Structure 1
Amino acid sequence: MEPLTSRRRFLTGATVGATAGLAGFARRSRAGEPAAANALDAIDRVPNAVGLETLVDGLRMPLALEFAPGSDRRYVADRGGRIYVHESDGLREEPLLDLRETIVTGGERGLLGMTLQPNFAENRRLFVHFSASRQSGTPADFDHTGILASFRATDDGRRVRRDTGRVVLEIPQPADFHNGGDLAFGPDGFLYVSIGTGGGGGGGGQDVTTDFLGSILRLDVDDRTADRAYAVPDDNPLVGRAGFDEYYAWGFRNPWRLSFDDGDCFVADVGENDYEEVNRLEKGGNYGWNVREGTHCYREETCPDRAAERDGGGEPFHDPIIEYPHPPTESAVSGVSVIGGYVYRGSTLPELEGAYVFGDFLPEGRLFAATRPDDGDELWSSTVLEIDGGTTLERLLSFGRDDEGEVYALGMGTGGGGVFRVVPIA
């Protein structure tokens, strides 16, 4: 392994005035069926408004938040290339890791993802995903190379030793946008990596034999092979079939933020023309891009319900669990670029228990919440959480969740970038 030394564009200034509704209100069941009533009861319990309590301020574009186990310490990754350390007495001046001399920025490039290995308390290992200049093997007409890398922190958890940096995987990227980039460990101990299609409207998503674009990868980073800095789990869906063994699911456009809860993995996929979506990840799932956008055809009046035949047959497309439209619309849950969140499991807002809290890049004074239907085939019911109080967000970039199940919004307000805990209205 070599050391590290060797739509519209997301987060680049979209200005769309979102009106207010629907992110996939549940498709109504027939009259009298209890499933619909129960789903509506769950959404009715969600509060109409929440507050935001500032945890960290003075940042630029915070994109990832991790909580160090066994300590009062948080790590905040900023797209500019630094990972900051926040403790009980505030933000430390010296960052955990500074990649500014290594990464490239501009467009949507930069430090895009960060996660701690589940046994971080013992091995101090963390993983980052960032944009770098074109590496050997990246096509000349491609824009840059995405790098998945690992580091080890010092025993006190306040610094990373740069000499521990190792490249795990390189992902050639054709453009400086739609790069995905989020990272998360699943309950199976494997690392899940989100990769965007890296291009303009219509590109990528369905070809699993040429590159990693438009996918979620699953890697075993506790092991390695002779030619890789990781191993491929034996039950990855394309092992022994046509396509890259690293694939876990595909058919995504720009999977921006993924999270786990009780065995479920939620992947928010930024749309192109008309709809935003959140998907529940399934092994071998094809989520439809660039044939479908959400539950709708993309650029065609009619479209198939399954992929083109490949290796013995085309897999069916998976519907999202949440879908919402772009403005102008009369729907309250609407926007321009979905920002994936977390299922709430905290205690300060019991009305949100079990609800998936998420939002849009242009929040317009809102977050969103969605509740699970009794019928697993239905879209989740979604509603607006008005942001009340003195703290507002002009841009929403990401979410985090601590060990107690409390949810945090990461974004930019009038005073710059910060991390904000979602709390009851004071």
Structure 2
Amino acid sequence: MEYSRRALLRAGGALGLGALAGCSAPSDGSTTTATGGAGSTSLGVEPVASGFVSPVDVAVGGGETLVADQVGVLYRLGAGGRERVLDLRTATVNVSGYDERGLLGVALHPDFPDTEEAYAYYSAPRREGTPDGYDHTSVLAAFDWTDGVFDPASERVLLEIPEPQSNHNGGALAFGSDGYLYVGVGDGGGANDTGRGHVSDWYEANAGGNGQDTATNRLGSVLRIDVDATEGERPYGIPESNPLADAAYPEQYAWGFRNPWRLSFDEVGLLVADVGQNRYEEVNLVERGGNYGWNVREGRHCFAAAAPSEPPESCPSETPDGTRLRDPVIEYPHRGDGVAGIAVVGGHVYRGEALDGLRGAYVFADWQADGRVFVATPKGESWPTRVAPVDGLGGYVTAFGKDAEGELLVCTNETGTVSGSSGSVVRLAAE
């Protein structure tokens, strides 16, 4: 069954939109935003590929452009259209309608194709070691490139992460300039970071908090691993500079996230978009060992699980050991003038040549596209952000990518669900 945008928003609770996108609760308004155009550039789109169900990630390298379709299929884009290069539909959970599971991320090895590997993050049925009552297991796996396709039989599982609920799975993958693979992992789902599978943390005012826990699981964190090493029975290495390299879960690089939906690297650093719950969406400039606040804070504001729409006036700004809870560099409300939306979709800093008005800006969007992208200037602790209308950008934005020339690709679909064949990849272009 397909849903219109209006029906999806009206039925958000029933369809799970409160989990991915938060609820459409009134906010205090925008604190860091302004409306306006994209510099001197009027934006439109150029079609790149179509016929997907729900494209959610793009990986480029070694002359190849790959697109992950949420249903479990990885495609390669070429002059002749798209070609299926990996089919994981028998390995993933069945997804349909509104669903946050499936094939969620893809990355090519930095030395591809000399190192013939791609990495995929997908939602599998419950595997051994996943507790009773949990929904599924998130899997990070490597696949070998053979004769122009990735061989499913070559799968090398790197991580299996038990997921209590069906939502907040993260799944973003990206290699940094250090050669390590960074992985965004959500808080485990549900609402408020509480309930089944959500452990107690140091902040007693909210009864739970995987985002604030680093000792019990990997949920609510950005991980960093060395895919070119192994350590004992572990099929990957732990970088010595990881902040918790000697802890129970040494993969963790930063934490305090709800549902990191897309991450990217630029000379300004690691940018992680984190989907909010009731009131604010955020983008974080992430540093090693940083704590980004969830579920003590939502954006720059206090959060209360008991009354998510009526947060307390005060809350901690640091942990009991004195670690600062870091504010995002970008924040926007669910309602208000200027930039507003319901679920952030992380993008990239633009370093291409075709769009002079965007050069050096961080370009991202809201899932509820409304024919626009957001353009932020990397400056100071709170980046000025404006709306840039995009002619021809319809439906829902699900992800961004870059092509081999550094031009921005946008993944969309028309339904906001994992159904049909309205998914497309377009390129931002000057009109």
Q: Percent identity?
A: 44
Partner of 2:303: 298
**In the alignment, what sits opposite 1:365?**
371
* Residue from 106, 120, 128 that aligns with 2:120: 128
TM-score of the pair, normalised by structure 1:
0.85
CA distance in 2: counterparts of 1:56 and 1:15, whole angstroms: 32
Q: 1:122 to 1:402 in 2, by over 3 A?
A: same
- The one-character-per-residue Cα deviations of 1:226-257 (angstroms, maximum 9, x if unpaired) are 110001011100123x5521110000000000
Q: Deviations over 1:306-339 (max 9, x none)?
A: 02x3xxx241011100000002x2x221100000
Q: Cα–Cα, structure 1 residues 25 and 418, in superposed 2: closer, same or farther, change >3 Å?
A: same
Pairing 1:381–2:381 present: no
Structure 1 counterpart of 2:92, from 103, 106, 115: 103
**Contact 1:392/1:413 (8 A) holds in 2:** no
Unaligned runs of 5+ in 1: 1-6, 27-39
2:67, 2:75 within 8 Å by CA — same for their partners in 1? yes
Matches of 1:292 and 1:80, distance apart in 2: 33
Q: CA RMSD in A?
A: 2.4
Give runs of aligned pairs for residues 8-407 of structure 1, distance below 5 A. 9=16, 22=30, 24-25=32-33, 46-47=39-40, 49-69=42-62, 71=63, 73-92=64-83, 95-106=84-95, 107-155=99-147, 158-203=148-193, 204-240=210-246, 242-262=247-267, 264-299=269-304, 300-307=312-319, 309=320, 313-327=321-335, 329=336, 331-373=337-379, 376=380, 378-388=381-391, 391-407=392-408
Q: Determine the C-alpha separation between the residues in 2 that align with 1:266 and 1:401.
A: 15
Is contact 2:264–2:270 with CA below 8 Å preserved after alignment? yes
Inter-partner Cα distance in structure 2 for 1:395 and 1:356: 19
Misfit runs of 4+, over 3 Å: 7-19
Equivalents in 2 of 1:68, 1:183: separation in Å?
14
**Residue 75 of structure 1, CA deviation:** 1.0
- Unaligned runs of 5+ residues in structure 2 are 1-11, 194-209, 305-311, 416-420
Counterpart of 1:59, as a letter, is F
Give, in whole Å, the separation in 2 of the partners of 1:13 and 1:345.
Answer: 29
Letter of the 2:265 counterpart:
F
- Per the TM alignment, residue 305 of structure 1 is displaced from its structure 2 partner at its CA by 0.6
The alignment of Structure 1 onto Structure 2 pairs a total of residues equal to: 385
TM-superposed deviation, 1:263: 5.7
**Is the contact between residue 20 and residue 259 of structure 2 (CA under 8 Å) also seen in structure 1?**
no
Question: Does the 8 Å CA contact 1:46/1:369 hold for their aligned counterparts?
Answer: no
Q: Report the TM-score, using the length of structure 2 for normalisation.
A: 0.84
| Deviations 1:120-144, CA, capped at 9 Å, x for gaps | 1201111000000111111112111
CA distance in 1 between counterparts of 2:58 and 2:241 reads 30
Q: Per-residue deviation at 1:387? A: 1.3
